[in-house]
Amino acid sequence: MLETINNFLTKEVFSNIKKNFDGNFAWYYQDSTGNKTDKSNYYFSHILFDNNESKSPYFNSILMPILGKLNFNYLHRAKLNLYTKREKQIKTASHVDFEKPHTVALFSFNTNNGYTEFEDGYKIKSIENTMVLFSGNLKHRSVNQTDENIRINLNINIKNVI
């Protein structure tokens, strides 16, 4: 299962969400990507929701407008990722976000040459205001960008519980 939705948010809503990143937004350094043993690259993150509770004052302003457009009834986690520009692209270790069945909703805040790659070689390009939905059992990995100072995406793990 893989679905791409271009122009996921209206221009106005998208612009309002991006304003949150202006100024002193709190990003937290992570020394591994994909799994704890993969030290091939680093990134910064900001957890919006985890362990059944909001973890950020930005939950409503960033996450809610996006969640409102997704079809789900259980939220596992929502996490912002920020990758910094590197001289060369680094492919991190492949991983799944959770072992439990779920769907990954990956939203890109800016266009750059970084991407998410699946084990079969298929790549999800980072294109501004694009949402990609895929099965959480698909191993994937992040690949940083070399053309823009930052790459920001939102990784949401959701599930439909019957």
Q: pLDDT (tens digit, 9 = 90+) per residue, 116-147?
A: 999 999 999 999 999 999 999 999 999 999 99
Domains of the chain: which residue ranges? 2-19+29-159
CA 145 to chain CA mean position, Å: 14
pLDDT at 21 over 60: yes
pTM above 0.85, yes or no: yes
**Cβ–Cβ < 8 Å for 31, 51:** no
**The CATH number, out of the four listed (1.10.3720.10, 3.30.300.30, 3.20.80.10, 2.60.120.620), of the domain defined by the range 2-19+29-159:** 2.60.120.620
Round to whole Å and give the CA distance between 26 and 93: 26
CA dist., res. 98 & res. 120, Å (int): 19
Per-residue pLDDT of 49-65, as tens digits, reads: 999 999 999 999 999 99
The answer on pLDDT for 150 being more than 70 is yes
